[in-house]
Structure 1
Amino acid sequence: MRISVLALDGVFDTGLSVTLDAFLVANALATRAMGGTLRFDVSLVGVRKRVKSTHGLVVPVQPITAQQQPDWVIVPALATTMPDELVASLERPDVVRARAQLLAWHADGVRLAASCIGTFQLAEAGLLDGREATTNWALAPFFRQRYPDVRLDESRMLVPTDIGVTAGAAMGHLDLALWLIRTASPELASMVSRYLLADIRSSQAAYIIPNHLAQADPLIQRFERWARENLASGFSLQNASSALATSTRSLQRRCQEVLGKSPLAYFQDLRVEHAQSLLRSGGLDVESIAAQVGYDDGATLRALLRQRLGRGVREIRADLL
């Protein structure tokens, strides 16, 4: 499998390194344990002769040539954390050139992969319009507002589509590399995962911080404060709207536009977050915790945690051991 990793100035050091290291380990293990019948031919390419990482390290890139057509192109993240910084990065001449190259690769049938902020490059080029995708969960509200035609689900770690695959935040680069290895050999992907002590994750949901998402919009911020104050009372859309001096329709619409979910779904997120915190403190039983987040019994809370996190009460409490 021929893979080109597209590096740009300000590339996220960890994302780039963990991507390259995963394939390095895969090749070594394939040679040692599988007789060398499988190999990933990975090249580091760029639209400039000289590329520097976020920490100022010089990245030795190769020029892009038509003679070296890859099977896959991976777009690592740029190390930007705020929407205004990201917009400025997307408007840089080298980044614009990179998008043109991505479109050319796509036209030639090359499959495209991106993780974290790298997914913005695919979306900015229009390559994700009408398709499902995931991204850095912390910038999901901004992504959703900037690219309304993309069917974003930031709770997922990996979203394959007909053009390639998108992956989630930061260490989602490793999940993306393991996914690509798995397409060639599930056995090898399992070996690489064990070698790197990397758990294979299907969801970002357990890592999302709800109040960080709420900061993207004043109304959602106020809704979040109201929700936290009323977790034990349970959810009422009418009560929430009245307390926020807005209509139920306006609150529903704004939650959908900013968070991609209903007010009730966001309220459930806050329930899950608070319940996890109480479980990890170890001082309360499940029935008492259920009452604090507005449920009549522990069974309902157990079902919610399993549905949202894919983990049960014992697994969450095991984190303390």
Structure 2
Amino acid sequence: MRIAVLALDGLFDTGLAVVLDTLRAANNLGARVTGGAPRFEVSVVGVRKRVRSGHGFTIPVQPITADLKPDWVVVPALAAVTPETLLPALARADVRDAQAQLRAWRDQGVFVAASCIGTFVLAEAGLLDDRDATTTWSLAPLFRQRYPRVRLDETRMLVATDAGATAGAAMGHLDLALWLIRKQSPELATVVSRYLLADIRSSQAPYIIPNHLAQADPLIQRFEQWSRTHLKRGFSLQEAAGALATSPRSLQRRCQEVLGKSPLAYFQDLRVERAQSLLHGSGLDIDAIAAEVGYEDGATLRTLLRQRLGRGVRDLRAALR
């Protein structure tokens, strides 16, 4: 597999390093464990002759020439963690040139992949339109509003489509690299993940902080504050909308636009977050915790936790120790 890693100024140093180191580990371990030749031909390319990382390190890149014909192009994240820093970065000339190059590659049948904020570069180029995708959960509200044609699900760690793949926040670069290895050899991907002490993750849901997402919109922020004071009472859309001086329809629409979910689903996110906190520090049994977040019994809460987080109460308690 020929992989071109497209380096842009101000990229996330760890993202680039994780992709390169994981693929190098696959080549080394593949040769040692299976006796086979290296499976990945990796090059670092740039749309400019000089590229510096987010920490100011010079990244040696090779120019993009007509004879460079990768199977996959990987775009590491830019080191921009807020809308105020990301939007100007997306408007830079080199990023625009990178988007044009990505479109040209895609027209030639090359698959494109990105993790974390690198997914914004793909979306800005129009390469995710009318496709499923994931991104860093922390900027999902911005992504959803900026790219309405993309079917975003930020709870997923990795999403593959006919055009390529997108992965989640920050260390999602590792999940993406392991996924590329798995396409060549599931056995080798397992060996690499064990050498790197890297668990295979399918979801970002356990890492999402609902309060952070609420900051993206004043109405959602007020809804979040109202919800936290009503967790024990249960959810009423009519009551919530009345308390926020808006209509149920407007609250529904705004939650969908910003969060990609209904008010009830977000209310349940807050219940899950509160339940996790109580599992960690309260010493309460599951029935008492259920009562604290508005459920009559622990069985309902157990089901919700497993649906949302993919783990049962015992596993969650163990993970939080």
Q: In the TM superposition, what whole-angstrom CA distance separates every residue of 1:24-50 from its partner, at most 9, and x where no partner exists?
A: 110000000111245100100001111
Residue 69 of structure 2 corresponds to residue 50 of structure 1: no
Deviations 1:8-36 (A, max 9, x none): 10010000001100001100000001112
The SS at the match of 2:227 is helix
SS at match of 1:142: helix
1:118 aligns with 2:115: no
Secondary structure of 1:188's match?
A: helix
Q: Could you tell me which amino acid in structure 2 is paired with residue 102 of structure 1?
A: L
- C-alpha separation in 1, matches of 2:228 and 2:167: 30
- Name the structure 1 match of 2:150: 150
**Following superposition of structure 1 onto structure 2, how do residues 189-204 of structure 1 map, counting pairs within 5 Å?**
189-204=189-204
CA distance in structure 1 between the partners assigned to 2:85 and 2:71 by the alignment: 31
Aligned to 2:172: 172
2:159·2:166 contact (CA, 8 Å) conserved in 1?
yes
For 1:72, the aligned partner's letter is W
Shifted more, 35-44 versus 277-286: the winner is 35-44
Please give the residue correspondences for 1:136-147 in structure 2 after superposition, counting only pairs within 5 Å: 136-147=136-147
Cα drift, residue 81 of structure 1: 1.0
Consecutive aligned runs of 4 or more in structure 1 exceeding 3 Å deviation: none
Residue type of the alignment partner of 1:172:
G
Q: Which residue of 2 aligns with 1:296?
A: 296
Give the fraction of aligned pairs with identical amino acids, expressed as a percent: 74
Q: Distance in 2 between matches of 1:38 and 1:161?
A: 26
Secondary structure at 1:319 match in 2: helix
| Paired residue type of 1:155 | T
Cα separation, 2, equivalents of 1:169 and 1:146: 18
Count residues in correspondence.
Answer: 321
1:145 CA drift (Å): 0.5
Aligned to 2:101: 101
Alignment of 1:88 with 2:88, yes or no, is: yes
Please, what TM-score do these two structures have when normalized by structure 2?
Answer: 0.99
Alignment partner, residue 317 of structure 1: 317
Superposition map of 1:142-291 within 5 A: 142-291=142-291
Partner AA of 2:216 in structure 1:
A
Contact 2:27 2:37 in 1 (8 A): no
> What does the per-residue CA deviation read over 1:208-238, in whole Å, with 9 as the maximum and x for residues that have no partner?
0001000000000000000000000011101
* Greater Cα offset, 216-225 or 282-291: 282-291
- Determine if the alignment matches structure 1 residue 64 to structure 2 residue 64: yes
For normalisation by structure 1, the TM-score amounts to 0.99
Give CA deviations for 1:175-219 in whole Å, capped at 9, x if unaligned: 000000000000000001000000000000000000100000000
Partner of 2:9: 9
| CA distance in structure 2 between the aligned counterparts of 1:131 and 1:262, rounded to whole angstroms | 21
Q: What are the Cα deviations for residues 50-101 of structure 1, in whole angstroms up to 9, with x where unaligned? A: 1100111110011011112000000000000111211100111110000000
Higher mean displacement: 38-47 or 25-34: 38-47
SS at match of 2:119: helix
> How far off is 1:282 after superposition?
4.6
Can you give the 5+ residue segments of structure 1 that lack an aligned partner in the other structure? none
What CA distance in whole angstroms lies between the structure 2 residues aligned with 1:315 and 1:21? 31
2:251–2:263 CA contact under 8 A, matched in 1: yes
Q: Which residue of structure 1 aligns with residue 30 of structure 2?
A: 30
